[in-house]
Amino acid sequence: MTENYDNLNDLQIDVLKEIGNIGAGNAATTLSMMLSKKVDMSVPQVRIIDIQEIANILGGPENQVVGILFTLSKDIEGMMMFILKQEFAHLVVNQLMGRDLESFNDFEEMDLSALKEIGNIMAASYVNAISSLTNFGIGISVPGIAIDMAGAILSVPAIQFGKIGDKVLFIEEEFIGGDGENVNSYLILIPEIDSLHKILKILGVEL
């Protein structure tokens, strides 16, 4: 029995990647609608990655980023976290709230709410992808938000998963706005190991 992500075979990883791809497609569509502008996306990169490497992708452990955290319940238990770099957060807030911000320091409560809302919609996009493929019912918690050092934010999923391994499912998506603004979003998906088994089993790739 697979105990953690380190032991997944190629076929199982492909299945997880496909879930990531479908979720990313849904996310781009909903983001387009939210921002009322055309948002294209590149082919998302879906990787099984050591959680410690993620801080480097985000610009180093001390780089300030936005983390939006959800817990999953019902048929699938686990955690999902969106990480937005500063540019993405500003694009969303400026577009949605009609603001012209350049620094995290200028964020107000309403701006954080807008970010949480985007997080909600993106989370639902991925959860729907898993649901529609597996027919599982999945509950999503209200979002929690933190703007802080990337390493400190990542410590939360790292710890949650650290009891069973160091690798997580990491989805990097590049969104291409109409006016040439490219921003990346990052998603970490961490089903509990029993839930991961359930997903792989129903999709016919259990070990």
* Residues in contact with another protein by the rule CB under 8 A: 3-4, 52, 55, 60-62, 64, 67, 69, 71, 141-146, 148-156, 158-160, 162-165
- Dihedral angle of Cα 156, 185, 166, 162, to the nearest 10 degrees: 20
Report residue 45 as tokens: 């990169």
Least distance to another protein, CB of residue 154, Å:
7
Least distance to another protein, CB of residue 106, Å:
13
Please give the Cα distance from 81 to 119 (Å, whole number): 9
Cβ-based nearer residue to another protein, 25 or 144: 144
With vertex at residue 143, the alpha carbon angle to CA 20 and CA 53, rounded to the nearest 5 degrees, is 50
Least distance to another protein, CB of residue 95, Å:
25
Measured N-to-C along each axis, helices 10-35 and 109-134 cross at an angle, to the nearest 10 degrees, of 140
Q: Among residues 163, 154, 172, 26, which one has the least CA distance to residue 88?
A: 172
Least distance to another protein, CB of residue 48, Å:
16
Least distance to another protein, CB of residue 57, Å:
14
Show Cβ contacts of residue 108 under 8 Å, excluding neighbours closer than 6 positions.
Answer: none
Report residue 176 as tokens: 């291409």
Cβ-based nearer residue to another protein, 71 or 113: 71
Cβ-based nearer residue to another protein, 17 or 197: 197
Cβ-based nearer residue to another protein, 88 or 161: 161
Cβ-based nearer residue to another protein, 7 or 29: 7
